[in-house]
Amino acid sequence: MTAITSDVLYEPAGTHEPHGAKTPKKAALASWIGSALEYYDFFIYGTAAALVFGRIFFPGADPKVGTVAAFATFGVGYVTRPIGAGPNGWMPVALFTTITAVIAAISAMTARETYKIHLNDLGRKDAVLAPA
């Protein structure tokens, strides 16, 4: 049986849980902060999709079609997030951090190449860095 002392839970000796204190309030606060940041991220992206993304990323399209396309990109991210959480939720922490590091490295390389293409679009002298 687990003994309860104030807001800290202790596991009895011989259980499979690691020794030490557990703090449910700290876990709840961390979960709340993560949810608040995620909401803020979707709120900012949704606002930007409604106001400016259509004109920036779809300049040749009708303004209404550009706005709908911007919201479509927003919707894809909103729908695929829980789909990715399913297979990744079971991964051990060490494996997940390794995979996250690999994905971050690939994203950084992709961003670098995208920036080089952007330099070509601007017609700058240093656009020779971009792949041909």
What is the domain extent for residue 110? 92-132
Whether pTM exceeds 0.85: no
**What is the total count of domains within the chain?**
1
Burial of 86-99, coded b for 16+ CB within 10 Å and e otherwise, reads eeeeeeeeeeeeee
Match 């009708």 to its residue by tokens: 62
102 located within any domain: yes
pLDDT(124) > 60: no
How many C-beta atoms lie closer than 10 Å to residue 66's C-beta? 20
Beta strands, E only, 1-132 = 3-5, 8-10
Asked whether the beta carbons of 24 and 15 are under 8 A apart, the reply is no
Say which range, 10-24, 28-42, 109-123, has the weakest mean pLDDT: 10-24
53 located within any domain: no
- What mean pLDDT is predicted for residues 7-33? 71
87 located within any domain: no
Say which range, 39-43, 68-72, 126-130, has the weakest mean pLDDT: 126-130
pLDDT(18) > 80: no
